[in-house]
């Protein structure tokens, strides 16, 4: 039984045999249920749990007119979507600031919190914290995605795994230590070893697996290996697999990495809110037969929605949308409809030829929704563009579109909506706006004014920022 089959000993609906001080396994919960039925049961349980224990969730939902009885009627994900609002990191941080350290979303007593993780990125200098109970830590270290995904990629008891990142409070740095410990593998702690010396260390440790690798870091390590004449296929004969995560990567590049390192390239997806890992590639890997592979999502521990960030409607199979996660196993702090800010391509259910059931995402193409964009080789932050445009007080809103033509030339077009109380635009003002935009973007920008509404107004009022940048370029790797 996967740890997700454990029912919380504090469960108000616990029907299993209770052993003092230990979690209760509720076999009745598993029964003959199909995965989707079990997921729906766990979802209803967790929603009621959050209502009963968290002032944050209860207040939020009551403001939306949701009652406890409504929660009892939720039988499916569409039911939840109709009733329960999404939350985002900004809302959680506001809760933390008002009720330190963990906010009113905490669903256990403070004495039960034995650890916490932080997520990458801050909002106004404040890190979002993910409090964890003892059971949460156990579940995170042996989650289906971590255990199954790493096994698929070749990690075995007695194997040897390099740890490249210095350990901090960030779950992204200490979860990997837990995963490999739980598997029974030896960890080679190379976080303080310079990159130039790491290759020889990998050989010395007879490394059999490299996980939690940022594609950009694997690229650095590969360049280092090439220039040092270090051939991984000869020097690392025990290496069985590499798991990439954290960034998207080009298809052809991943195939070259597979050839260079002489092993299958795998991929995974996760977040610190979701105990580290939530989806993983099966034995087919991340680039089977020269195509993008499939990430299998852990539907028994999470509900993953893929929505249009503007309309919040679920996207069709084949389309890209924002990942919204609901955790079914987190005890100290459940995340209910948490907008991750990550975007992925929805492959629908049962999309992999391997035959495994459940939601599938495209491997290798998950990225941040609107963080940063590269224009003619320069990284430009959307927030910097916004700052430059909104510096001009006559601007109500704007959209920036980046496009390219067949020869690869890039065009940047800004559609600006002036404030409706502006009678006539001054030439000097419009010229100044265009030159400010050009300075930030680093290339010429065609500016056009419109009185049309540029977005769905309801999206501009919440904590969540609207997407002002549209990238229509066709990228060819
Ligand atoms: Zn598969």
d(CA 148, CA 145): 5
Query: 441 CA distance to ligand 1 centroid (A)?
Result: 41
Query: 360 CA distance to ligand 1 centroid (A)?
Result: 9
Q: Please tell me the predicted confidence (pLDDT) of residue 421.
A: 67
Asked if residue 23 has pLDDT above 50, the reply is no
Query: 306 CA distance to ligand 1 centroid (A)?
Result: 19
Mean pLDDT of the residues in the chain: 84
The least confident of 29-38, 97-106, 131-140, 360-369 is: 29-38
- pLDDT tens, position by position, 360-409: 999 988 877 865 677 776 777 776 787 788 778 788 778 888 888 777 67
d(CA 185, CA 180): 5
Query: 97 CA distance to ligand 1 centroid (A)?
Result: 42
- pLDDT tens, position by position, 219-234: 778 878 988 999 999 9
Asked if residue 67 has pLDDT above 60, the reply is yes
d(CA 244, CA 286): 9
Query: 355 CA distance to ligand 1 centroid (A)?
Result: 6
Helix or strand run (H / E) with residue 265: strand 264-269
Query: 296 CA distance to ligand 1 centroid (A)?
Result: 7
Query: 354 CA distance to ligand 1 centroid (A)?
Result: 4
Query: 6 CA distance to ligand 1 centroid (A)?
Result: 26
User: Environment class of residue 339 by beta-carbon count within 10 Å: exposed (0-12), middle (13-18) or buried (19+)?
Assistant: buried
Query: 38 CA distance to ligand 1 centroid (A)?
Result: 21
The least confident of 64-73, 162-171, 248-257, 435-444 is: 248-257
Query: 294 CA distance to ligand 1 centroid (A)?
Result: 6
Query: 468 CA distance to ligand 1 centroid (A)?
Result: 36
Mean pLDDT of 208-215: 91
Query: 140 CA distance to ligand 1 centroid (A)?
Result: 22
Q: Please tell me the predicted confidence (pLDDT) of residue 380.
A: 76
Cβ atoms 215, 243 nearer than 8 A: no
Residues 6+ apart with CB under 8 A from 120: 170, 172, 272
Asked if residue 144 has pLDDT above 80, the reply is yes
Closest C-alpha among 97, 96, 115, 118 to residue 106? 96
Query: 182 CA distance to ligand 1 centroid (A)?
Result: 24
Q: Please tell me the predicted confidence (pLDDT) of residue 227.
A: 82
Query: 205 CA distance to ligand 1 centroid (A)?
Result: 31
């Amino acid at each position: 039984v996967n740890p997700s089959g454990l029912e919380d000993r504090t469960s108000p609906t616990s029907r299993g045999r209770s052993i003092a001080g230990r979690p209760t396994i509720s076999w009745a919960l598993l029964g003959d249920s199909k995965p989707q039925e079990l997921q729906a049961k766990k979802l209803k349980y967790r929603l009621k749990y959050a209502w009963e224990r968290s002032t944050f969730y209860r207040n939020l939902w009551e403001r939306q007119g949701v009652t406890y009885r409504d929660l009892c009627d939720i039988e499916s994900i569409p039911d939840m979507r109709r009733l329960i609002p999404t939350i985002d990191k900004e809302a959680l941080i506001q809760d933390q600031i008002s009720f330190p350290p963990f906010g009113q979303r905490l669903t256990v007593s403070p004495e039960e919190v034995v650890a916490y993780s932080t997520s990458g990125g801050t909002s106004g200098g404040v890190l979002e914290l993910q409090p964890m109970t003892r059971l949460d830590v156990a579940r995170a270290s042996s989650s289906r995605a971590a255990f199954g995904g790493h096994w698929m990629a070749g990690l075995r008891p007695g194997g040897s795994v390099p740890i490249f990142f210095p350990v901090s409070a960030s779950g992204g740095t200490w979860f990997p230590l837990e995963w490999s410990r739980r598997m029974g593998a030896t960890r080679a702690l190379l976080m303080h070893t310079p990159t130039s010396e790491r290759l020889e260390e990998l050989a010395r440790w007879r490394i059999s697996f490299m996980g939690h690798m940022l594609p950009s870091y694997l690229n650095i390590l590969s360049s280092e290996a090439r220039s040092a004449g270090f051939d991984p296929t000869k020097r690392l004969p025990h290496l069985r697999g590499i798991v990439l995560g954290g960034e998207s990567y080009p298809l052809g590049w991943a195939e070259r990495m597979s050839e260079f390192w002489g092993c299958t390239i795998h991929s995974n997806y996760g977040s610190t809110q979701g105990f580290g890992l939530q989806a993983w590639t099966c034995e087919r890997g991340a680039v089977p037969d020269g195509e993008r592979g499939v990430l299998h999502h852990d539907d028994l521990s999470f509900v993953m929605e893929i929505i249009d960030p503007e309309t919040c409607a679920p996207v069709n199979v084949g389309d890209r949308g924002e990942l919204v996660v609901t955790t079914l196993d987190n005890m100290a702090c459940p995340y209910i409809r948490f907008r991750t800010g990550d975007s992925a391509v929805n492959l629908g259910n049962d999309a992999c030829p391997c035959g495994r059931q459940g939601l599938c995402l495209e491997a290798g193409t998950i990225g941040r929704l609107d963080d940063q964009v590269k224009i003619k080789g320069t990284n430009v932050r959307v927030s910097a563009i916004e700052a430059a445009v909104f510096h001009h007080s006559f601007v109500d809103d704007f959209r920036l579109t980046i496009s390219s033509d067949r020869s690869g030339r890039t065009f940047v077009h800004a559609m600006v909506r002036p404030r409706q109380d502006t009678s006539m635009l001054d030439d000097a003002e419009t010229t100044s706006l265009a030159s400010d935009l050009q300075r930030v973007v680093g290339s010429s920008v065609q500016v056009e004014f419109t009185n049309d509404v540029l977005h769905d107004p309801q999206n501009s009022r919440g904590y969540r920022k609207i997407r002002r940048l549209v990238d229509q370029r066709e990228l060819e790797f």
